[in-house]
Amino acid sequence: MSVNYASGLSEYENKGVCGLNEIFDNEENLFKKAQQLSKWICESKHCVIYCGAGLSTAAGIPDFRGPNGVWTLEEQGKQLDSNKLQSFDRCRPTFAHRAIKAMIDNGYIKFVVSQNIDGLLLKTGIERSFISELHGNYFLDQCVRCRRRFIRNRPSPTMGLKRTGDNCPNNGCRGYLIDTILDWEQDLPDDELGIANEHSDRSDLAICLGTTLQIEPAGSLPLRVIKKPRNTTKKRKNDHIEMEEKNVEKQHKKEIGKLVIVNLQPTRFDKRASMVINHYIDRLMELVCTNLNLDVPKDDLDSDVTISKSSDLTEWTR
C-alpha cells in the first residue's frame, strides 16, 4: 500500500504542496475536451503517457498530496483509515490502466513513463519495451550482478534497493536480488531515465495522468514536448561573439508538440499546457476509448504476470 511505502521512506521535508482543493470540469466541457484529446491522439506520431499516483486511486491506493492523501493527512496529524486500504497484491488494474495497455496494443501510445510503484500497469501485461518505471516497482527485483530484472509473484518485502532474500535465478550468475523501489535522494536508474528521456524528446503529444508534476526529474520530462531546441552557432566578427540563430524551418527542426494535463488538482505547469482536464481519469479514458472505437479488455487474472503458477520469479526483458 502507498501508506506503507510512504512510511518506509526516509525522513524528508520537501514533499511538495499538499491538500489543494480538487477541481471538476462539468460534463459538457469534459465531453468537448475528450473529443479534442481523441483527435490529438489520432494525429500524434509519438504519444507518451506520464503516470502519477492519481492514476491508481480508483484501485483503492491512496495518493500522496490529494485532499485525503498520505502526506496531506500526515501534515494534519491524521492517519488513513486502514479499513479503506488494500494491499498491493490485492489491487487490480483500473479501466484506465487497461485502456493504456489497449492503446499501446493499437499503436496510439508509443511509451509510458511512470512514477508509480504499485505494479498495476505490469499486471495488465504491458511489455517492458513500452514502459519506464522511474521510482521502481514492488513486483520487480533486480540482480546486482547481471542487472536482469525479475517479476515477483508477491510484493517485495523491502524497499530502498535492499536485498530481498532471493538469489538470482539466472543460471551461472551467482548474484543476489534487490528491490527496485527508490528512497528519497537515491538516483534514478540510468537505463530507465535514459529511455524516458529519449521518448520524451521524440514525443509530439505528452499526456500527464494523475500527477502534480512536483517530483524531479520526473516532473519536468513532459515539458520536453513543448520545448523547441535552439540551434545556434558562435561566430567571431570584429573580436565580438555573435549568436546566429539558424532558420527553424531548416534541418534539426523539432515541432512544438502538445502537453495535456489530467489531474483533479492544479499543477505548476497548467499555464503551459495545451489543455488541462480536471476529472476522474477512468471517466476520461472511457470517453476517449469510445471516441477511438477501442475495445478495452476486462481485467484478466490469467494474463497477470505477477500471478505465476510455475515460478516465484520470472525474467522481464526489454
Catalytic residues: 135
**Nearest Cα to Cα of residue 315 among 163, 173, 103:** 173
Annotated binding residue at 42? no
**Cβ-contact 88, 118 below 8 angstroms:** yes
User: What angle, 0 to 180 degrees and rounded to 10, lies between the N-to-C axes of helices 281-291 and 27-43?
Assistant: 60
Bin 171: left if φ > 0, else alpha if -120 < ψ < 50, else beta: beta
Greatest Cα pair distance in the chain: 75
Sign of the dihedral defined by the CA atoms of residues 127, 128, 133, 136, in that order: positive
Annotated binding residue at 146? yes
Tally the residues of the chain.
318
Annotated binding residue at 208? no
Task: Please report, for residues 114, 160, 165, the alpha-carbon distance to residue 135 in angstroms, rounded to integers and kept in the order given.
Answer: 8, 10, 21
DSSP letter, residue 22: P
**Nearest Cα to Cα of residue 276 among 187, 212, 214:** 212
Binding site as annotated, residues for Zn(2+): 143, 146, 168, 173
Binding site as annotated, residues: 143, 146, 168, 173
